[in-house]
Chains A and B, each alone.
Chain A
Amino acid sequence: MNNAARRKIISRIVEALCALAVVLALIPLAMILFYVLTRGLSALNFAFFTHTPKPVGEAGGGMANAIVGTLILIGIAALFAVPIGIICGIHLAEYAGTKFSSIVRFAADVLNGVPSIVIGMFAYGLVVLPVKRFSAIAGGVALGLLMIPIVVRTTEELLRLVPSGLREGALALGATRSRAVFGVIVPAALPGILTGILVALARVAGETAPLLFTSFNNAYWSTNLMQPMASLTYQVYTYALSPYDDWHRQAWAGAFLLVMMILTLSIAARLAVRRLERMNRP
């Protein structure tokens, strides 16, 4: 066998192995989507969105309280995680190279790696213990803590995508550094940052562990922030572990809703980043 033929064969084998790896990685995703889609879609109905859970043993009911609960919880999370995260991200991107910024970046990475159950425990100690009650606030705080590092790093990365010419252009017109940052650079990256925030929201909306002993769960309709609050993930968790077929169906529907939410936001983020990159090209 000559050299060229051997090279060709080796190249083919490596290509095939790569393709196989891709397929193996995609199979679980495809299966999850397939299961969640088929089983979740069939369980979805109007009542799912409008009714609260029925008592044990009674068929029907929905997850209206859990859907609203999840929205409230991520709303609380966003309320304090977004400003903190964005400002940290701006600091990291614009004042890079200082000792302080490398500490901040390291801290954000560590926080990102902390298991979510630990974050939940922290929020339990911080918010639940002092008032001796599970509450929506506690759940929101736990989710917010999870969100901060994601927002920090997305903001930083997107600001770095902004062409340096824009910064120079603003400075050359007599802008101060902060004016250039807040008047030109942040607005240029804003669509991307906003979608980054949405992705972070989707990510924490899918968390269960931090809510176990913070917002807990609530079988009834409640918008009181000082009371336990239902959430989609917690409800899916409870229903999936229950012995009732009707609850299993509803758990699938809840899972379907969560997956769709995350999928939509991820795609939106992709598009926004692509737009920013296009601007970056000459």
Chain B
Amino acid sequence: MTTIMDMDVRTSAPAAAHPIVPETKPPALERQVKIRVDSFDFYYGPAKVLHGIKLDIPERQVTALIGPSGCGKSTFIRSINRMNDIIPEARAVGTIEIDGRNIYAGGTDVVALRRRVGMVFQKSNPFPKSIYDNVAYGLRIGGMHNKRELNDLVEQSLIRAALWDEVKGRLQSSALALSGGQQQRLCIARALAVDPEILLMDEPASALDPIATTKIEELIWDLKVNYTIVIVTHNMQQAARVSDRTAFFMLGRLIEYSDTKTIFMNPKEKMTEDYVTGRFG
């Protein structure tokens, strides 16, 4: 447990914002529930990879999903925008509600859902187009073609993704010419451009060097003012640094879900403690 003490756990930072109301509960629980998951199972063909997941994800907070490889955290995060739909033989049972509406209910408009729930992938995946066209892509398929509006939103998105200063002079050059860290921030800008409410990040920094990682983490910290963020990470320090709440997955089950501080400092479950202290995984 001693290693945790060295970490920069900034989870309680926003709590000071309400001096008049006496704090009785941890700040995370005060928030409205944005995503409510209940008895959620997931199958790849006959293989059951998620077992009865149940958790509430608060709005405008960062929720980290941690756990050893193959524990189902990536499958879970990809269930929140139904990205798993494209995998043949994949099947979900149970509910995931966003703002009280089950996204797995029949008749759900998956395209509209994905516009509300943005996603950033482990491997940055800019389109082989210009920087501008990458950010404008989501806006254009949403039907926006007004040049001035597009320009404004592209600029805003790049500013919010902390990339504007580095690319403002070369918006028309290829996105593939950017560095790995810049490409990942471009993908974040692209996701932000369509103004989602939720941002899913599947190991967004695992392929980046420490400096680029720091930039992404600072960005996540800034973005949670406006967005509900769910992040999968293999890096325990990262989870401790950026998240408000942490869910520990193992073998397709949710073992423990609580404030990040509790998970790292005072976990209830032995398994969680073993994992966060590096005894396995």
Q: Which residues of chain A have a CB within 8 Å of any CB of chain B?
A: 97, 163, 165-176, 179, 183-184, 187-188, 279, 282
Q: A174-B194, A184-B137 are in contact. List 16 more A-B contacts (CB 8 A).
A: A165-B125, A166-B127, A166-B128, A168-B121, A168-B125, A169-B121, A169-B125, A169-B187, A169-B190, A172-B114, A173-B141, A176-B111, A187-B129, A279-B128, A282-B123, A282-B207
Instruction: Indicate if the CB atoms of B86 and A165 lie closer than 8 Å.
Output: no
B141 touches A183 (CB 8 A): yes
> Which single residue of chain A is at the shortest CB-CB distance from B88?
A97
Complex CA distance for A184 and B81, rounded to whole angstroms: 20
Is residue B176 contacting chain A, with contact meaning CB distance below 8 A?
Answer: yes
The answer for the CA separation of A19 and B176 in the assembled complex, in Å, is: 40
Q: How far is the CA of A163 from the CA of B176 in the complex (A)?
A: 13
Residues of A within 8 A of B137 (CB): 170, 173, 175, 183-184
Q: Using a CB-CB cutoff of 8 Å, which residues 159-207 of chain B contact chain A? A: 176, 187, 190-191, 194, 207
Residues of B near A183 (CB, < 8 A) are: 137, 141
22 A-B contacts (beta carbon < 8 Å): A165-B125, A166-B127, A166-B128, A168-B86, A168-B125, A169-B121, A170-B137, A171-B83, A171-B86, A171-B114, A173-B114, A173-B118, A173-B138, A174-B112, A174-B141, A175-B137, A175-B141, A183-B137, A183-B141, A184-B127, A187-B128, A282-B207
0/1 string, B129-163, CB within 8 A of A gives 1: 10000000110011000000000000000000000
Give the nearest-CB partner of B127 in chain A.
A184
Task: Report Cα–Cα, A174/B111, bound state, in Å.
Answer: 5
Report the contact-size class of chain B (Cβ under 8 Å from the partner).
20 to 34
Say how far B120's CB is from chain A's closest CB, in angstroms: 8
* With A170-B137, A173-B141 as contacts: A165 and B123 at CB distance below 8 Å: yes
| Docked-complex contact B127 and A172, CB < 8 angstroms | no
Of the listed residues B123, B142, B191, B207, the one surrounded by the most CB atoms of chain A closer than 10 A to its CB is B123
Q: How far is the CB of B44 from chain A (nearest CB, A)?
A: 15
**How long is the Cα–Cα vector from A214 to B127 in the complex, in angstroms?**
45
Judged by a CB distance under 8 angstroms, whether B119 is at the interface is: yes
* Beta-carbon nearest neighbor of B122 in chain A: A165
Separation of A165 and B137 alpha carbons in the complex (Å): 15
Q: Which of A165, A167, A173, A279 contacts B191 (CB 8 A)?
A: A173
Asked if A174 and B86 sit within 8 Å, CB to CB, the answer is: no
Q: Answer yes or no: B115 CB below 8 A from chain A CBs.
A: yes
Question: Which A residues lie within 8 Å of B191 (CB)?
Answer: 172-173
What are the residues of chain A within 8 A of B111 when measuring CB–CB?
174-176
Known A-B contacts A163-B125, A279-B176, A282-B207; the reply to A172 vs B141 at CB < 8 A is: no
Q: Find chain B residues with CB under 8 A from A167 CB.
A: 86
Known contacts: A97-B88, A183-B141. The answer to whether A172 contacts B128 by CB under 8 A is no
Does A168 lie within 8 Å of B83, measured CB to CB?
yes
B72 → chain A closest CB, angstroms? 18
